[in-house]
Structure 1
Amino acid sequence: MKTRKYILLGMVMAGLSLSVTSCTDYMDMQRYFKDQQSEDHIFENKDNTLQWLSYCYSALQGDNLEIAHSDVCPTNYSDDMVFNEGNNGERFRRFKLGEYGYGYAYQDYYTTSWPKSYEGIRQASILIQNVDKNKDLTPEEITDVKGQARFVRAYLYWLLLRKYGPVPIMPDAGADYTESYDNLSFPRNSYDECAEYIATEMAQAATELAEKRNNVNIARATKGAALAVRAKAYLFAASPLANGNTEMADFTDKTGRILISQTYDESKWAKAAAAARDLIELAESRNLYRLYTSQVRTNTTDEAYPNTITPPEHPVYSHQDFPDGWQNIDPFESYRSVFNGELFASENPELIFTRGKNNNHNGELKDMGVTDLAKHQLPGTAGGWNIHGVTMKQCDAYAMADGKPFDRATCPKKFTADDNKDEHPYDHLRNGVYFEYANREPRFYASVAFSGSMWFCLSAKEDGYKNQQVFYYRGESNGRTNGNERWIPTGIGVMKFIHPKDCNTNEGKMEGKVDTAIRYADILLMYAEALNELTGTYQISSWDGATTYTIQRDMEEMRRGVKPVRMRAGVPDYNDVVYNDPDAFRRQLKHERQIEFFAENQRFWDLRRWKDAPVDEAEQIYGCNTLMNKAHAIEFYTPVRVPYLQTSFSRKQYFWPIAYNELKRNKNMTQAPGWEDYD
C-alpha cells in the first residue's frame, strides 16, 4: 500500500483530540510520521472519510465558537455587555484594557484559536487532496465532502483574519516537508490577499455544496453559507480598518512589505455589495432564506407567551403585511424566537450557518456554547450564575416603541402601577418597573432583563420557582452581594437567549439554544451598508458569472436591505432624508447593527472594522447604582460609573497578538502593531 510522507492520520475518530501549540506544527515532520497510516486505508473508506470531515468541523468549536462562554468568546463583550466572572470582573477589565497574551496575568486565556484553526486548515487540506479516491462515496457525495472541507478551511481563515489581521495562507496541496526549516516558515499574507483567498475559496465551495441540508446535517455548510462568508470577507476588506488605513503602515512582514492597504479603494465596497446581493438573489429566487416572523397572537392569558403588542399606529406600516409592514406579525415573538430555543435550526429560515446546539461537549468548560451563556444570565433564584450585564449605553440605545430615540431627560421618574397602565400600552410590564423601561421597541424586551423583568422558569417542578419578578436592588436575592461575584455589576441583566421554560434548579431544564453564527438579517444590512459608501457605478459579475449587476448607491436597493429588518422589529423604516444622506444613513446603520446583533459577537468586530473602537470602547462603562436598596429605588436608576469595570482602547487592540511560541518557531512571522515582538 502506498503511503504519503506529509499526511497526518490515526486521529480521525470524533472525541479524540490533537494537542497543538503553533501554526508551525502544521509543518512538523516528526508529528506527521508518528501516526502515519495508509492513505488508502483512510480515504477509500466511507466511514473514515466522513469521520475525518467531522474532525475538520470540530475546529469550529472551543475558542472558535462565536457565541459562547467568556472563557472562549470574550469578544462577545464590547461596549454593550459585561461579565462579572473571574474575581468580580477582573478578567473582563483586563481584557478590555488589552492585558492578554504573553506576559500578562491572563496569558493562558484566549490562546487556542490560532493553533486550533491551523490544525483544522491542515485537516481540511488533506481531505480535499484525497477524497477523490474514495470508492464508497458517489461522485456527488465526493463533491459535497470536498465543498464542506473547503468551506471549513476558508471559514477558519476568515476567523483568523477577523481576529489576527493578515495571516499566513498555507499551501493548499500541503507543504514539501523535504525542504529546510527556513523554507517552511511562512510569513503573513496581506489583508487583501487573505480576503481574496477566502472569497475565491468560498465561491468554489458554493459550486460544490448543497443548497439545503436535512435535519441531521443542519450544521453542515451549504451554498448560501459559503456565499455569506465570501460577502463578509469582502465587507471587512472594504471597511476603514483595511481600506486605505495609513495608521497601519507599520504592519509589515520581515521584508518590510506593508500588509494593510494604504490607498482607499471604493470599488471594494462595490465588491462587498455585489457579494451580499449574490446571497439575496439566491435567497429570493430559490426561497432559501428570509427573516423569521411569528404570526399575531390573540386571546391568550399566558403571560410567558403574551398577546401581540401592536406597535404604535403608523399610517403605512400598521396597515400592510410583512415585509411591507407589521400588520400580520408579532415583532417581539418574531425576534425572541430566533435565539431562545423556541425554534429548531431546521425551522428557522433566517439561519444561513449554524453550529447547531453548540452545548457543553463531554463536560469540557472550553466548549460551552449558547446554552451555557444563558445559564450565566439566569438569576440566582432560577439556578443561574446571575453574572452577565447590559451596559447602560446599550440599554439606552434601544428606541421607544414609535421608533424615536430614548431620551433619559424626558423619561418620567416613576414606576409602573395600577393607576398608570394606560401610560405604557406598548409592553407587558408588571407593577414596580421604572418608567424608563416602558414603551420601548420590541427588541428591547427580547434582549434586556431590566430590574422588574419577569423570568418565567416554566420547567421548574414547583410553582414557587415559576413566574419570578426579579429586581436587582441591593438586599434583593439577585442584587449586589459583598464577597460574591454572582451579581450584575451594571444592574441590568441580559434576556436574549432566554426561553420562558428556562430554569436551572428545582428539576427545571434549559431549552437547547441554536448558534446563530450567520443569519440573513446580517446579509441584508451588509448590503445596505456597502451601497451607502459608493459614489460611482460599477459593473460586477455575480459569483457564478451568470449575470452582471449594476452596483451603485441606490436608495431603493438600500431600503431592500434595511426595511425588512425594521419591519420585523416593529419600528418604522428610515425616511428619505436619511436614505439620501450618506453620513446620516451610516450613523443609523451602525446603530441598527448595535441593536439587531446585540450579544451575537458582532459589535466587537464592527467597532474595529469601522475604526470606531477608539471612541466607543474607550468610553467609561455606566450602569445603575447597585449600592441602592429598594427603599432608595429612584436613586438605583441614577447612572453611575462601574469603577472596577472601566476600559480604554489602544491601537494594538485592533488585532490580537501572535503567541510567543509561534514567534519563536516561525522566523518569518511578525507581530501585530503595538504588541511585544520578542526579537
Structure 2
Amino acid sequence: MKTKKINKIFAALLCVATILPLGCKKGYFDTVPDNLIKVEDIFTNRGQTESWLAGLYSMVPDIWNQDNFGYVFHTTTDEMDASNWNTPAIVSGALSPSNTPTRFTSYYERIRAATIFLEKVDGNQEILGLVNGPELIKQYKGEARFLRAFYYWMMMKELGPVVIMPLKSATPSDDFQIPRSSWDECVAFVLQEIALAKADLPLNNYVVGSTTDLDIAQTGRINKIIATAVESQILLYHASPLYNGNSEFSDFKNLDGKVLINPVYDATRWKKAADAAKQAIDIAVSNGKGIYKVTDADPFRAAFLACRNLYWDGWKTEGIWLRPATATSSWEIRVAPRSTQGTGYNGLGVVQSLVDDFRMSDGSPIAGNPAYNENTYNKPATVYYVAGTNTMYTGREARFYVDITFNGAVNPGVAKTGANNARVEFFNSGTSGKAGAPRDWPKTGYVVRKNIHPTYSVNPAVNVARPAMLIRLAELYLNYAEALNEAEPGHPDVLKYLNEVRLRGGLPALSAGADQQELRKQIRLERRIELCFEGGNRYFDVRRWKIADQLGSNQGGAFYGMNMDAGTSLSDPAFHKRTPVINRASWQRRYYFMPYGQNEADRNKQLVQFPGY
C-alpha cells in the first residue's frame, strides 16, 4: 500500500537540518540548533557536515538525567521509587499506546538522519581535500552506521521486534506500510550493521597521527572498543530466556501469521554471547582498561572508596563508553537529603527488597544471619553511620554504604550546620522526614546514594563534572560470567570474572564447587547490586530473564520500606518497622515490552502491537 502522506517519524526529518544539533566545538552531547535548510548545502561544508554527525549522538541516553523523569527505567523497577513526584503509566497500570514512554519517534528520526549522512558524506570535497580527509570520511561513516544500528537496538530493548526501515532516505512516495521484523531478524540486522561499522572505526579515539595518544576532545565518540562492547550486550540478550525458546510468546505475530519471537531454544547462543563478551573484555584490557581499585590499609575502606569514587575518579580506568555531557546535577539534587547544604530534594527512594539484597560484610545474606538484627541500636559511631543507628544497617558490605542512604547514615554531601544535619534523619520528625516537607521525602525511608559526590552542595552550588559511563568493564565481566555459566558450566573463567567484581566490592571470592544454578543466582545478585541504578540494567535484566513476576524480583504489587509516619528520634523502633509503602499495579505479561505509539499504529496498518495493548 502506498501513501502520499509521509509517516510522522520521517516527516520531521525532511527538514532535519533545522533540528539536528550544531556544535562539534562544544562537544558531541552539548550542541545548539542550526537554521540551514538545504541538505545539499550541509554536505558541501565541513563544519555543517560534522555538526550533522554530532546531531546523530543526541539520543545516546543520559542515564543520570532525572529532569522530568523521562528516563523511566529506574523508577519502575524493584530498585527505586519517585511516586511523590511522578507515577509512570507502567506503575499505575495505565500503560497504553496513547501514553507509551518509548522514544521510538526520536530514534527513527536519528536513524533516518544517519542514513542521509551515509548517502551524502562521500561527496564532501572540503573534507576529502584534507590530508587525512578520506580517513575522516571513513571514520564518520563508521560512527553514523553504528549509531543507526544502536538506535534500533535501543528500540528493540524497549519494544521487542521492531519495524526496520529500508537503508535509504525516505521520500513522500515511499511505502511506509512495513511489518515488524522478527526478533532474530532484528538481531542479525543490527549485528551486521555494527560489523560493517567496525571496519571503518578506529580502535580508539587517538590524536590524529598517533596510535597511542588519546584525544580527550573525542571522548564518547564511537570506536571499535565501544562497538565490541555493544555487540556483547546484544548477544547476551539474544541468548536470554525472553528471546530464546520463549514459546509463551507464540501469540506475538504479524498479520500474516509470522511469529516474532522464536519459540525454539538455541543453546549455542550462550556460547556466542560468552565469546563476544570475552572479546570485548580482551580488546578493552589490551587498551588499558581495568577494574578500578583504591589502595588503603583497611581493605573495607579500600572497597568503599573504589566503589564510591568510581564515578568521578575511576571512569578513565573502567569506563568503556562514556557520555561526556551528563545531567549529573539533576540526579544529585534529587538524591541529596534535605539536610544537605542548600536543601536537597530527598526523594528518589530505594525499595526495601534491594536494601535487603545487600549482603553482610563477609558476603553472607541477611536472611537467618545471627549477625543481623533489626531490634537493636549500635553504640559506636563509624565513618558510615552515627551512634544510635539501627543494627540492620551495621556490618553490611561496602557497596551498601556507597549506594544507600538510610536513617542514621552520615550525610553523603556537604551538610548544613548542626549535628542533626551531619547525619541523615528519615524518621517522621527528622531533618529529612515526612513531617518536614510536603513531597520531598522518600516513601521507603531510604534514598539513593550512588554517584553523589562528597563535596556536593545545592547552595552554594558545587557540582563536580564527570562523564557518565554507559558501559563499564565490570558489566562486561558480568556479561561474560553469565553467558559462560550457561554455555560451559564449571568453566574456571566464570568464577574468575565474577570474583573480580566481588573482590573490588570487598566481598570474599566464591570458591569452586557451586553448581550452575547456584552460580546463576550469584551472578544475577551481583548484577543487581553492582549495576543498581545504572542505565536501566535492572529493568531489562528481569525482563530478559523472564522473572518479573517472581518472588524476589516482582515488578508489581506491594513494596516495603520503613514507617515514615512514625518516629520522633533516631533510635525510635516505631520508624524501624517494615511497612507496605508503595502499591503498584500487578505485573502483567504485556509489560515485558512497551507499545508503539497509537499514532504510529494508526498510520502503519502492518504494525501489530504486543498482545495486551
The TM-score by the shorter chain falls in which range?
0.7 to 0.9
Q: How big is the shift at 1:233?
A: 1.0
Q: Structure 1, residues 468-517: CA drift from partner, whole Å, max 9, x if none?
A: 21110001121013871111100012110111111112x13222343221
Equivalent position of 1:349 in the other structure: 317
Q: Distance in 2 between matches of 1:401 and 1:561?
A: 20
Equivalent position of 1:614 in the other structure: 549
Where 2:395 maps in the other structure, the secondary structure is coil
Q: Distance in 1 between matches of 2:412 and 2:357?
A: 26
**Structure 1 residues 251 and 67: alpha-carbon distance in aligned structure 2, compared to 1, 3 A threshold:** farther
Equivalent position of 1:491 in the other structure: 445
Where 1:194 maps in the other structure, the secondary structure is helix
Conserved in 1, the CA contact under 8 Å of 2:65 and 2:331? Answer: yes
* One-letter amino acid matched to 1:493: V
Equivalent position of 2:82 in the other structure: 83
Equivalent position of 1:549 in the other structure: none
Conserved in 2, the CA contact under 8 Å of 1:457 and 1:465? Answer: no
* One-letter amino acid matched to 2:518: A
Equivalent position of 2:5 in the other structure: none
Equivalent position of 1:172 in the other structure: 167
Q: Structure 1, residues 139-188: CA drift from partner, whole Å, max 9, x if none?
A: 11111111111121111111100000000111122346544xxx322211
Question: Aligned match of 2:347 in 370, 383, 387?
Answer: 387
Q: Structure 1, residues 185-219: CA drift from partner, whole Å, max 9, x if none?
A: 22111111111212222222222222333222212
Confirm whether residue 335 of structure 1 aligns to residue 327 of structure 2: no
Where 1:169 maps in the other structure, the secondary structure is coil
Where 2:410 maps in the other structure, the secondary structure is strand
Q: How big is the shift at 1:572?
A: 1.4
**Structure 1 residues 338 and 136: alpha-carbon distance in aligned structure 2, compared to 1, 3 A threshold:** farther
Q: How big is the shift at 1:249?
A: 0.7
Conserved in 1, the CA contact under 8 Å of 2:90 and 2:591? Answer: no
Equivalent position of 2:210 in the other structure: none
**Structure 1 residues 11 and 466: alpha-carbon distance in aligned structure 2, compared to 1, 3 A threshold:** farther
Equivalent position of 1:26 in the other structure: none
Q: Structure 1, residues 333-368: CA drift from partner, whole Å, max 9, x if none?
A: 1111122x345x5xx221111222312xxxxxxxxx
Conserved in 2, the CA contact under 8 Å of 1:398 and 1:444? Answer: yes
Equivalent position of 1:649 in the other structure: 587
> Given the two structures, how large is their TM-score scaled by the length of structure 1?
0.79
Query: Within 5 A, what are the aligned runs for 1:577-592?
Result: 577-578=513-514, 581-592=515-526
Q: How big is the shift at 1:242?
A: 0.6
**Structure 1 residues 59 and 80: alpha-carbon distance in aligned structure 2, compared to 1, 3 A threshold:** closer
Q: How big is the shift at 1:221?
A: 1.4
Confirm whether residue 403 of structure 1 aligns to residue 363 of structure 2: yes
Q: Distance in 1 between matches of 2:20 and 2:264?
A: 48
Equivalent position of 1:628 in the other structure: 566
Provide the aligned C-alpha RMSD in A. 2.5
Q: Distance in 2 between matches of 1:635 and 1:57?
A: 50
Equivalent position of 1:521 in the other structure: 474
Q: How big is the shift at 1:526?
A: 0.7
Q: How big is the shift at 1:378?
A: 0.7
Q: Distance in 2 between matches of 1:10 and 1:47?
A: 13
Q: Distance in 2 between matches of 1:133 and 1:261?
A: 42
Question: Aligned match of 1:310 in 282, 299, 311?
Answer: 299
Q: Distance in 2 between matches of 1:384 and 1:352?
A: 31
Where 2:320 maps in the other structure, the secondary structure is strand
Q: Structure 1, residues 510-533: CA drift from partner, whole Å, max 9, x if none?
A: 223432211111111111111111
Q: Distance in 2 between matches of 1:356 and 1:9?
A: 24
Equivalent position of 2:120 in the other structure: 130
Q: How big is the shift at 1:651?
A: 0.4
**Structure 1 residues 520 and 38: alpha-carbon distance in aligned structure 2, compared to 1, 3 A threshold:** closer
Q: Distance in 2 between matches of 1:146 and 1:259?
A: 31
Equivalent position of 1:56 in the other structure: 56
Q: Structure 1, residues 617-650: CA drift from partner, whole Å, max 9, x if none?
A: 13520111112213571232221111x4334210
**Structure 1 residues 238 and 38: alpha-carbon distance in aligned structure 2, compared to 1, 3 A threshold:** closer
User: May I ask how many residue pairs the two structures share in their alignment?
Assistant: 566
**Structure 1 residues 673 and 565: alpha-carbon distance in aligned structure 2, compared to 1, 3 A threshold:** same
Q: Structure 1, residues 563-598: CA drift from partner, whole Å, max 9, x if none?
A: 2111111111222122xx111111111111000011
**Structure 1 residues 148 and 638: alpha-carbon distance in aligned structure 2, compared to 1, 3 A threshold:** same
Where 1:474 maps in the other structure, the secondary structure is coil
Conserved in 1, the CA contact under 8 Å of 2:17 and 2:39? Answer: no
Q: Distance in 2 between matches of 1:212 and 1:465?
A: 49
Question: Aligned match of 1:14 in 7, 21, 24?
Answer: 21
Conserved in 2, the CA contact under 8 Å of 1:497 and 1:513? Answer: no
Q: How big is the shift at 1:246?
A: 1.1
* One-letter amino acid matched to 2:302: D
Question: Aligned match of 2:101 in 94, 101, 110?
Answer: 110
Where 1:565 maps in the other structure, the secondary structure is helix
Conserved in 1, the CA contact under 8 Å of 2:385 and 2:423? Answer: no
Confirm whether residue 441 of structure 1 aligns to residue 397 of structure 2: yes
Question: Aligned match of 2:379 in 401, 417, 421?
Answer: 417
Equivalent position of 2:144 in the other structure: 149
Q: Distance in 2 between matches of 1:379 and 1:218?
A: 32
Where 1:577 maps in the other structure, the secondary structure is coil
Where 1:353 maps in the other structure, the secondary structure is strand
Confirm whether residue 556 of structure 1 aligns to residue 492 of structure 2: yes
Q: Distance in 2 between matches of 1:85 and 1:154?
A: 37
**Structure 1 residues 488 and 178: alpha-carbon distance in aligned structure 2, compared to 1, 3 A threshold:** closer
Confirm whether residue 253 of structure 1 aligns to residue 217 of structure 2: no
Q: How big is the shift at 1:560?
A: 3.3
**Structure 1 residues 358 and 557: alpha-carbon distance in aligned structure 2, compared to 1, 3 A threshold:** same
Conserved in 2, the CA contact under 8 Å of 1:621 and 1:647? Answer: no
Q: How big is the shift at 1:409?
A: 6.5
Q: How big is the shift at 1:12?
A: 6.0
* One-letter amino acid matched to 2:17: G
* One-letter amino acid matched to 1:645: N
Conserved in 1, the CA contact under 8 Å of 2:557 and 2:583? Answer: no
Question: Aligned match of 1:595 in 529, 543, 559?
Answer: 529
- Give structure 2 stretches of 5+ with no counterpart: 1-10, 24-34, 128-132, 206-214
Conserved in 2, the CA contact under 8 Å of 1:455 and 1:466? Answer: no
Q: Distance in 1 between matches of 2:256 and 2:522?
A: 42
Q: Distance in 2 between matches of 1:54 and 1:390?
A: 36
Conserved in 2, the CA contact under 8 Å of 1:225 and 1:352? Answer: yes
**Structure 1 residues 498 and 637: alpha-carbon distance in aligned structure 2, compared to 1, 3 A threshold:** same
Q: Distance in 2 between matches of 1:666 and 1:35?
A: 31
Conserved in 1, the CA contact under 8 Å of 2:243 and 2:262? Answer: yes
Q: How big is the shift at 1:381?
A: 2.7
Q: Structure 1, residues 285-342: CA drift from partner, whole Å, max 9, x if none?
A: x23421111222xxxxxxxxxxx6424xxxxxxxxxxxxxxxxx91111111122x34
Conserved in 1, the CA contact under 8 Å of 2:406 and 2:446? Answer: yes
Q: Distance in 1 between matches of 2:78 and 2:466?
A: 24
Q: Distance in 1 between matches of 2:166 and 2:15?
A: 16
Q: Distance in 2 between matches of 1:38 and 1:621?
A: 52
Q: Distance in 2 between matches of 1:433 and 1:557?
A: 40
Where 2:53 maps in the other structure, the secondary structure is helix
* One-letter amino acid matched to 1:289: K
Q: How big is the shift at 1:15?
A: 6.3
**Structure 1 residues 49 and 115: alpha-carbon distance in aligned structure 2, compared to 1, 3 A threshold:** same
Query: Within 5 A, what are the aligned runs for 1:528-543?
Result: 528-534=481-487
Conserved in 1, the CA contact under 8 Å of 2:335 and 2:346? Answer: yes
* One-letter amino acid matched to 1:195: V
